[in-house]
Structure formats: structure tokens, C-alpha cells
A and B are shown apart, each in its own frame.
Chain A
């Protein structure tokens, strides 16, 4: 139709579709030429790297200038008020999530190069991996509800297949099957919701839906909302779908875990945000805020307590993943600009630190062959890099300043408490308290991991462990540096990324306008203002000054004049004190820690343990009950 100018590819308008296609193309090419290892790695690297570059190039026009890029496949611009073609629309929110996806995928691919090198069926792995990435990116950029459904299905299949990829691992198949069943219930919900919306509005275009739905209404729409909401909750593994995530993470290879927690759950969150802020614009209703905040708070609390009771490294991380998603949902559900930007900030941080943690878990699994906390210990001497990187990740997720987890959590506290004071509703204050306590519980469970895996005593089985290869370390280091950077410059991050993205939530008309070139009145989101003060850079400088000066004083006074064990054999003096006993293996870790806490909560813990029965029927039942509840709630309040 149109003369294709090669240079035209450099127009940012094409970047989104190129980005998505790069992933799928890469997947396709690897099937064809993936036999050779180098070719395979090059293709994967190029596909992910180029995508990331393209998305970074989009930051300027979209996030900073506030533009919106619509893209009609095949240049099928809507005619007659109906959009028939397939559309992409990239606004600040989409791009924000897209960036997260691209970063996580890039790092995970880097990590996979060495991590997966000992597995067979490597080409299939990369194919599935890139399919998953493309699915998520496509879902995030899609301007079309049905395309979102298709992408959700693609990513669900890819995720299921990747979960079962190492099918000799205990529980991999089981987890995949459970995920498939409940995930399909969720997908079916999305499809049913989509079609109900279509029946009412006769369109599938998101922008058009966003324009039409508030003006149509009706029972069908309400039911559709509930169906879509539950469908996206399944993808985000919000309670009551969290056992699926736990099972899947436990069995999947580490980079896949990064994808599931850092990317796949984000797609669910994206869906929920798109649904409730744009399509239905329900988020100014107090009842819907309550619904989201309630779900988020329950998720963050239930999952963190579940995590405390776990004795498998990856399973524990999986529960934490959902707990952090609970934070995101809570913050977004507050429906204030501060809350939304805090939530998105936390979503970003979650991708970074959770990815880092899963990668370190993978490194441990790679070297020792197990992730059971009871069988590990004392790896810090064998794997100092991994330990340091893990500590950064753990500090980030537990909200230890100056890492990124603190910055976003702190904003969430501010946002929720501000909301509480604003509305005079003490319930939101309880959310603040819940969030703060959850944060400490998170710290507790990471102390447990630190002690059980990296410190404590080295068991015999782990003596052959050594530091992982440079490739893996590089991947982890990238994430660690990002954790630190995003934590140290929260203002810059907010200004550059989260506030534009967060403001987009409150300006659905801009989304509609961007797609349709219509001229609906746009509402500028209220400016973000925080009442608290926190300046991590200043604090860090102070800490560094203090630390340095203390170190200088210490070194001057021969603080480092220590006695160390020389030679291979451990002299009596340098052996550990076991109450006088000879060195013996008495690692304290795993489920033995935090008895004092668990003792007080034992009924709760045993109840939760029985609840998570591991039977797929039970989980399906939860899904059905959640669906029913959501429908009833939606019908009552909407």
C-alpha cells in the first residue's frame, strides 16, 4: 500500500511491534537453527537485547514527553467508529511494564546461557522462553481485549511448558498440571468476560471499550468485570491462587522463575489495572478500592506467613513474590497518584529484587543440587559473590535502606496512611500497619534463608560447591546494581518512570484520545506529594563517611590485627565453640528458626498447612468460589 521506507523502521511508531516480533522471531529462528549452541545463544541475545534497546528508546517520547503510540496492524485504521483490525497501543503504563519485561527477560537470558547449559532440549527451552516473553510483551502492548486473551494463553502455555521443563524434578509435572488447570479456568474466565463485553458493546478495542463501557452499563458488563478480574487475578497469583505460583516456582528452572514472578505476575497486575482504571473506571468507587486493598493486604500477609513456614528456598521465594504483589495491588488500589506511583515503583522493584533472589536460588541449586533449606548451609565461604548478591536482594525485599525495597515500601506506607487520614477510615491505617509488619516478617524469613543457606555450617554434601560462572554472576550483578540504583535515586525514578506511569492511571481519556484521535477532556492527575522525608543519597553519604571514619579509627587502633587459622587443619583455637564439644554438624536453620514466633501462631500455621492441601480439585474449588464471590460482590456494589 505504502512505499516501505527502510528508514521508516526507525520511526518510534514501529518500535512496539518490532519489539514483540523480535521475541517471536527469535523463538522461530531458534527452532530452525538452534542446534548450534553459539547460533542459538546469539539469536536469543540479539532478540532480547534489541528489544530492550528499542523499549529504552521509547522512554523519551512516551514517559518523558507523555505521548501515546497507537499502532494499527496492517495499517487498518478504524473506520466508521469501529475498530476491526488488530491494534497496539503503548502509553506510559504499558511502556513501564514493557520495560520491566524486557529487562527481566534480558537478564534471565544472560543467566540461562550458563545455567541451562547442562540441560538437554536447550533449543526448546529458548523457544518457549522467548514465546513467554513475547506473550507478556504482546499482552502489555495490546490495544485489543481479545489479543490480550490470546497473549495470555500463549504465555500460560509457555509458562506451563517451562514449569514442566525439568520433568525429572520432583513436582514439576504436578505443578505444571495444577497451573494448567487453574490457569485455564482463569483464561476461560477472561474469554467469557471478553465475549460478554463484546455482546454489550460490539467492540474489542480497549480504547473504545473504555469509552463505551461507562456509558453502557448493565448486568452483563458487571458479570464481565468479575470474570475478567478473576481471570487476571489468576495470572497475578493473587490469593487464593497463590499455591500455583509456589508450586510452579519450586519446580521451574531459575530463569523461568524470574519470568513467572517478575514478568508473568506483572501481566496480571497490568490486566487488573487496565481493567479497573481504564475499561471500567471503577477505581473512584470506595467499594472497589476496598476490594483491591483488601485482596492486596490479605495476599501480602497470608503469603508472607506461608513463606515463613516453608523449608524450600524457591518455594519460600515464590510465596514472597505473591506477598510483594500484594503490596503492589494494595498501593494501586488506594487510587491516589502517590499510591499508584508507589505501587508501580514497587512492581518494578519486585521484578528486580525478586529476579535477583531467584537467580541466586538458581545458583545455589546449580552448585548443590538442592534447594531444601534443611540440607544447605555455610555456602558463604564457597560462594561469596552469590552470597553478597543474595544479601543485596534480601535487603531490598525486606526494605532495608538504602535499597529499592525501602523506597517503594515507604511510599506505600505514606500513601496508605495519607489515604486513611484523608478518608478518616481507620481501615486504611490497618493496611499501613499490615504492610509494615509484613515487611518485618519478610526480613525474618530472609534472615532464615540467610542463616540456612549461606551462613551456618557447611554440610558434607555441599562441600563441592563453588562459585558460579561469570555469566551467571554478571546477570545477577546487573539486577543487584539496578536494585541499588533505583533505591538510591527514588526521586529520579519516580520522576522518570513511576509518576508518568502512575498518572496515566487517572487519565483514561488520554488513552482513548491517543487511540482514536478524539478530543475527550483529559484530566491531569494530581501532583504527587509526599509528607515524609527520605533522602537515601544523603543518608548513604553520611553512612559512608561514618563507616569510613570508623574504619580508619579501627584500622589505626589495629582492629584488623586478628588471629587467623593458618594452614589446612583447623587448630583448636579457631574451631567453633560448641559448648566444648568437638566439631560436629549442628546446623540451625530451615524450619527450626523462629520457634518463638511460630509457637504463638501454631494454630494459624497448622490451619494454613492443611488448607494448602496440594490437591488440584481444592485449588479449582478456590477458583470457583473466588469467581462466585467476585460476581456477587460486583453485582452488589457496581
Chain B
């Protein structure tokens, strides 16, 4: 009986709260907020905030055409695989001090770094399975973008691991839970002088990793017909758009947890101050933590994605690569060196 209840509980975790439903709602909402913000920054009114939801449901209602040249199974499964991988990935990212140990202890930051490849691989496979030449060009660019983002991301994570590891045995620490724990007691990592360049670098990596403007050469709709998505229609396309939204959520919440993880430390005492105790207090503080996380995600989106989108024009693919491997990696490397020599 207990086991069944437990199983149901974990199923609920996967499907509802940090899992699928939450990802679906907040991912698309984040996407909508981003679109709205970009529009406002360009002095436009912009679409309604719920526009991504409309888009998603509309696409669900459309006909799904499988091109004759495509590999049907791969074509249909690729978006679902990406979605599942992203949902599971989101489970691994703790919400401040509130995490589900069974999930967050499964993986560390390096693992998350690799799990982030799965959605990219899924979109690449999906695109490639159609055999479209646009997909060919698109996947090549997507891969180069992933490659470009990898180096700075690695450097940032290594710097973080070094800083946090100082208080743990072994000298390095990549566990997400421990990183957040460390911030609870030592203050957010952003206050660590040596990590400020790393935080900036990570912020700059976010749009590249999510494939947002101006690093969306892989899905340039005006030149290569949205690249890998060129042959997708209907619901699978909708799922890919959903994946994009969830990836934004994942990247931004990863950023928040890595650099602002200490902000949630006050929540529990705040709730206690109000006078709540027991389960109710826990529920309320979790709710507050989620809200805080989402708010921070929105702010990170506004700064890291929307602002960058609004003020730049799309880069060419070799410029993206050059940019990430020089400017952003330089920042991250600076951070690593600073951290290494004790700043």
C-alpha cells in the first residue's frame, strides 16, 4: 500500500508539479512573456502573453504531414523524446532548498550539461530524419551552436564546482543540491567576486543554448525555412515549440539556482513569522519558492533573452562560434582563473 502511494507520489512529481504540467505551463508562459517583452522593447504592442498557448493548441489542431521521404517513427518520436528529456531535466533542478531527493541526487551539474544535449540531439535527429536539405543546413548550424556554447558552459560549471567544493570533501562539488545548500549558508554565488564574470558568461550562453535570437541561425526562418523544423507540421511542431519554451525555463532556472540560489533562504523563516506551522507552512513555503523562482526566471529571461533579442540582428553561424569561443569563453576562463587563485 505504501509502495503504491509512493509510486503515485512520484508519478505526480513527474507528471504534475516539477514535471510535465508545470513545465508546460511555465515554459510556454515564459515564452509568451519573452515575446511580449521583445515587442515592448521594440515599441510594439506585441502578442498577448498567452500567445504561445494559442500557437501550441492551434498546431495540435492542424494536420500532421509525414513527408514520404521521412522515417516516420523517428519523425514522430523525436519531439516527444526531447520533451521527456527536458521534463526529466527540470526534475533535477532544485527549487531553492526544496528538492525531491530522489531526483536531484540522481545527477550533478556535469550530467545536466550532457542531458541538455539530448533535446538538441532530438531536434537534430528529427530534422535529419526528414531528409530535407534545409534540415541538413539547420542541423549543421544547430550543432555548431551547441559546440559554441559548450566551452563557456563547461568553464562556468568548473568554476562553480571549484568554489563550492571548497567546503566539501574532495575539493570539488558538482551536485546541484549541494551547490544550493552552499548558497543557503554562504550567500548566493553571485556575491562571490570571482564568479561574476562566470555569471555574465552564463547569462550570455542562455540565448545560444535555447536557440533564441540572435543565435538562432539554426532556425533562421528567412534563409533556411526554419532549418530542422522545415518539414514539421501540426502537433510535432507544437511539441518542438513547447520544448523551446521549456528549455528557456530550464536554462534560466539553472542560472538562478547556480548564482542566486541563496535568495530562497529566507522563505521558511518568513512563513514561520506569519505563524504557519507543519504541513501548511511547508506547502506555503514551497509555493513561495516556486513563485520566487519563476519571478527570477522571468527577470533572467528579460535580461538574458529578450533584451539581447531586441537590440541585435541575427548573427552568422561562424560569428556565433567566434563570439562564444572568444568573448564569452574569455569571461568564463577569467572566472576560472580568479577562482583558481583564490578570489
When A and B assemble into the complex, do they touch directly, with CB atoms less than 8 Å apart? yes
Q: Which residues of A contact B71 (CB under 8 A)?
A: 380-381, 384, 387, 455
B144: which of A384, A421, A588, A596 is its contact (CB, 8 Å)? Answer: A596
Q: Is B337 an interface residue (CB 8 A)?
A: yes
Contact B140 A550 (CB under 8 A): no
A54–B220 CA distance with the chains assembled, in angstroms: 58
Contact string, A361-402, partner B, CB cutoff 8 A, digits 1/0? 000000000000000011011001001000100010011110
Contact string, A251-262, partner B, CB cutoff 8 A, digits 1/0? 000000000000
A533–B171 CA distance with the chains assembled, in angstroms: 15
Q: Is A561 an interface residue (CB 8 A)?
A: yes
Interface centre among B128, B336, B337, by most A CB within 10 Å?
A: B128
In the complex with contacts A546-B20, A562-B66, A599-B318, A531-B172 CB distance below 8 A = yes
B118: which of A401, A538, A542, A579 is its contact (CB, 8 Å)? Answer: A401
Contact A563 B64 (CB under 8 A): yes
Q: Is B286 an interface residue (CB 8 A)?
A: no
A410–B110 CA distance with the chains assembled, in angstroms: 8
Interface centre among A550, A551, A594, A596, by most B CB within 10 Å?
A: A596
**Which among B37-45, B129-137, B186-194, B205-213 touches the partner chain?**
B129-137
Contact B69 A576 (CB under 8 A): yes
Contact B111 A574 (CB under 8 A): no
In the complex with contacts A380-B129, A447-B139, A421-B171 CB distance below 8 A = yes
Contact B337 A576 (CB under 8 A): no
Q: Is B49 an interface residue (CB 8 A)?
A: no
Contact string, A98-138, partner B, CB cutoff 8 A, digits 1/0? 00000000000000000000000000000000000000000
Contact B74 A380 (CB under 8 A): yes
A451–B118 CA distance with the chains assembled, in angstroms: 17
Q: Is B288 an interface residue (CB 8 A)?
A: no
Contact A531 B170 (CB under 8 A): yes
Q: Is B292 an interface residue (CB 8 A)?
A: no
Task: Name A534's closest neighbour in chain B (CB-CB).
Answer: B111
CB of B257 to closest CB in A, whole Å: 16
A571–B136 CA distance with the chains assembled, in angstroms: 23
Contact A554 B235 (CB under 8 A): yes
Count contacts on B: residues with CB < 8 A to the other chain. 91
Contact B80 A437 (CB under 8 A): no
A594–B145 CA distance with the chains assembled, in angstroms: 10
Count contacts on A: residues with CB < 8 A to the other chain. 86
Contact B67 A574 (CB under 8 A): yes
**Which among B160-168, B270-278, B301-309 touches the partner chain?**
B160-168
In the complex with contacts A410-B110, A457-B69, A576-B231, A400-B118 CB distance below 8 A = yes
CB of A160 to closest CB in B, whole Å: 37
Q: Is A413 an interface residue (CB 8 A)?
A: yes
Contact A594 B125 (CB under 8 A): no
Q: Which residues of A contact B118 (CB under 8 A)?
A: 400-401
**Which among B196-204, B248-256, B261-269, B319-327 touches the partner chain?**
B319-327
Contact string, B141-154, partner A, CB cutoff 8 A, digits 1/0? 10110110011001
Contact B106 A576 (CB under 8 A): no
Q: Which residues of A contact B316 (CB under 8 A)?
A: 596
Contact B88 A451 (CB under 8 A): no
Contact A437 B143 (CB under 8 A): no
Contact A596 B20 (CB under 8 A): no
Contact B114 A401 (CB under 8 A): yes
Q: Is B124 an interface residue (CB 8 A)?
A: yes
Contact B141 A596 (CB under 8 A): yes
Q: Is B81 an interface residue (CB 8 A)?
A: yes
Q: Is A56 an interface residue (CB 8 A)?
A: no
Q: Is B84 an interface residue (CB 8 A)?
A: yes
Contact A574 B68 (CB under 8 A): yes
Interface centre among B72, B117, B136, by most A CB within 10 Å?
A: B136
CB of B219 to closest CB in A, whole Å: 14
In the complex with contacts A535-B107, A577-B134, A589-B136, A529-B170 CB distance below 8 A = yes
CB of B179 to closest CB in A, whole Å: 12
A130–B255 CA distance with the chains assembled, in angstroms: 55
Contact A532 B88 (CB under 8 A): no
**Which among A78-86, A323-331, A438-446 touches the partner chain?**
A438-446
Contact string, A482-515, partner B, CB cutoff 8 A, digits 1/0? 0000000000000000000000000000000000
Contact A577 B132 (CB under 8 A): yes
Contact A456 B131 (CB under 8 A): yes
A532–B83 CA distance with the chains assembled, in angstroms: 25
Q: Which residues of A contact B83 (CB under 8 A)?
A: 546, 550
Q: Is B15 an interface residue (CB 8 A)?
A: yes
Contact A444 B117 (CB under 8 A): no
Q: Which residues of B contact A456 (CB under 8 A)?
A: 128, 131, 133, 136
Contact A531 B168 (CB under 8 A): yes
Docked complex: A560-619 residues within 8 A CB-CB of B:
560-565, 570-571, 573-579, 586-589, 592-597, 599-600
Q: Is A406 an interface residue (CB 8 A)?
A: yes
B84: which of A381, A543, A575, A597 is its contact (CB, 8 Å)? Answer: A543
Contact A443 B154 (CB under 8 A): no
A417–B163 CA distance with the chains assembled, in angstroms: 13
A563–B231 CA distance with the chains assembled, in angstroms: 13
CB of B215 to closest CB in A, whole Å: 11
Q: Is B97 an interface residue (CB 8 A)?
A: no
Q: Is B281 an interface residue (CB 8 A)?
A: no
CB of A338 to closest CB in B, whole Å: 10
A377–B129 CA distance with the chains assembled, in angstroms: 11
Q: Which residues of B contact A399 (CB under 8 A)?
A: 114
Contact string, B228-261, partner A, CB cutoff 8 A, digits 1/0? 0011001110010000000000000000000000
Q: Is A73 an interface residue (CB 8 A)?
A: no
CB of A536 to closest CB in B, whole Å: 9
Q: Is A539 an interface residue (CB 8 A)?
A: yes
Contact A546 B111 (CB under 8 A): no
Q: Is B102 an interface residue (CB 8 A)?
A: yes
A352–B13 CA distance with the chains assembled, in angstroms: 36
CB of B19 to closest CB in A, whole Å: 7
In the complex with contacts A399-B114, A401-B111, A457-B133, A436-B150 CB distance below 8 A = yes
A311–B67 CA distance with the chains assembled, in angstroms: 28
30 contacts between A and B (CB under 8 A): A380-B74, A380-B129, A426-B336, A450-B125, A455-B71, A455-B131, A456-B131, A458-B69, A531-B175, A532-B111, A533-B108, A534-B107, A539-B88, A539-B106, A543-B85, A546-B14, A550-B84, A560-B76, A565-B68, A574-B65, A575-B68, A576-B69, A577-B132, A577-B134, A594-B140, A596-B217, A596-B316, A596-B318, A597-B144, A600-B321
* Extra A-B contacts (11), CB below 8 Å, given A421-B162, A531-B175, A559-B80: A401-B114, A429-B336, A437-B151, A450-B128, A451-B128, A546-B19, A546-B20, A564-B68, A593-B136, A595-B317, A596-B320
Q: 4 closest pairs, A vs B, by CB?
A: A588-B136, A596-B317, A455-B128, A421-B171
